[in-house]
């Protein structure tokens, strides 16, 4: 089944390339007919494969939890020379986990878009992230072995609760008392990335650079913006850059 789906997507990509190369040629009705067939095929593919993609989206939080626990275990058993590198990996894994925690209520598939439950779930997710950051900060002033064990324990609890469907109780309430929820600023950063990349592309257009130079400079500018706004997690936001790629 997977091979058939992949083959179908390859066929769609092939048609896109062919249409891009020959759309300006006569007769025009050939191009229109091919485009109609392509759109119909693509819509059917989206409907057929949507169900296969939902489990992947819903399991991103548990996958991030597993990666964080592994990073903690590797840092716990690392030698003195390797410890800084492994602790850096723990921080990177926690940043990715935070994003997945903040989006857990959207990806769980159990909360409607306009449901009043979303506000409470977002506040709870913000408190969970605040607790994770507090535990991470202990790496700088407490025995690192104890801090790593605490982080791993918290993350394991989050994974268990999420798998059980308790997205409003990822961590016990006593652990979250007095914690100010961390705000999810990803949408603001994405909006800023779109504006800055668009502004850079428009500015480059006035320089009169050759097409090759324009593409190279535009790509470099876009990557720098994504790195500045999203740090080590910039690669996961490359679809933002795709918005500004020229069409065929």
pLDDT digit of tens for each residue in the chain (248 aa)? 444 444 555 555 555 555 555 555 555 556 566 666 666 766 666 666 555 556 667 788 999 999 999 999 999 999 989 999 999 999 999 988 998 898 888 877 777 777 888 888 889 999 999 999 999 999 999 899 999 999 999 999 999 999 998 888 899 999 988 888 887 666 677 777 778 877 877 777 777 777 677 777 777 777 787 777 776 666 666 665 555 555 44
> 70 and 35 in one domain?
no
> 124 and 208 in one domain?
no
Closest CA to 127 of 166, 179, 183: 179
Q: Is residue 80 part of a domain?
A: yes
> Where does a domain end: 11, 39, 57?
57
**Cβ(139)–Cβ(87) below 8 Å:** yes
Provide the domain count of the chain: 3
> 165 and 95 in one domain?
yes
Q: Is residue 100 part of a domain?
A: yes
> 64 and 24 in one domain?
no
> 157 and 67 in one domain?
yes
Return the ∠ at Cα 238 (arms to 233 and 239), rounded to 5°. Answer: 130
How far apart are the C-alpha atoms of 24 and 10, rounded to whole Å? 23
Residue 38: per-residue pLDDT: 64
Residue 11: per-residue pLDDT: 55
Q: Is residue 181 part of a domain?
A: no
> Where does a domain end: 118, 149, 176?
176
> 169 and 70 in one domain?
yes
How far apart are the C-alpha atoms of 129 and 185, rounded to whole Å? 13
Q: Is residue 220 part of a domain?
A: yes
Residue 3: per-residue pLDDT: 47
Query: What DSSP character marks residue 42?
Result: H
> 106 and 39 in one domain?
no
Using DSSP's 3-state secondary structure scheme, residue 88 falls into helix
Supply the range of the domain harboring residue 237.
186-242
Residue 1: per-residue pLDDT: 42
Non-local (6+) Cβ contacts of 92 within 8 A are 71, 232, 233
Going 124 to 157 to 53 to 219, the CA torsion angle's sign is: positive
> 195 and 155 in one domain?
no
> Where does a domain end: 57, 84, 104?
57
Residue 176, Cα to own-chain centre: how many angstroms?
Answer: 26
Q: Is residue 248 part of a domain?
A: no
First-to-last C-alpha distance (Å) of the chain: 31
> 34 and 66 in one domain?
no
């Amino acid at each position: 089944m997977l091979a058939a789906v992949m083959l179908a997507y390859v066929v769609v990509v092939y048609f896109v390339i062919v249409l891009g190369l020959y759309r300006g040629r006569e007769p025009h009705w050939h191009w229109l007919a091919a485009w109609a067939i392509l759109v119909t095929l693509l819509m059917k593919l989206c409907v057929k494969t949507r169900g296969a993609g939902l489990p992947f989206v819903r399991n991103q939080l548990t996958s991030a939890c597993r990666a964080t626990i592994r990073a903690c275990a590797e840092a716990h058993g690392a030698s003195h020379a390797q410890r800084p590198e492994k602790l850096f990996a723990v921080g990177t894994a926690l940043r990715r986990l935070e994003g997945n925690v903040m989006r857990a209520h959207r990806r769980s598939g159990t909360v409607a878009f306009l449901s009043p439950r979303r506000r409470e779930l977002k506040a709870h997710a913000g408190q969970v992230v605040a607790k994770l950051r507090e535990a991470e900060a202990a790496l700088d002033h407490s025995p690192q072995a104890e801090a790593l064990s605490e982080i791993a324990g918290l993350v394991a609890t989050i994974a268990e609760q999420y798998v059980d469907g308790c997205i409003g109780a990822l961590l016990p309430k006593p652990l979250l008392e007095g914690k100010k929820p961390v705000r999810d600023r990803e949408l603001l950063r994405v909006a800023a990335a779109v504006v800055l990349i668009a502004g850079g592309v428009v500015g480059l257009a006035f320089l009169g650079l050759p097409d090759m130079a324009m593409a190279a400079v535009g790509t470099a500018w876009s990557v720098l913006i994504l790195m500045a706004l999203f740090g080590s997690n910039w690669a996961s936001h490359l679809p933002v850059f795709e918005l500004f790629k020229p069409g065929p």
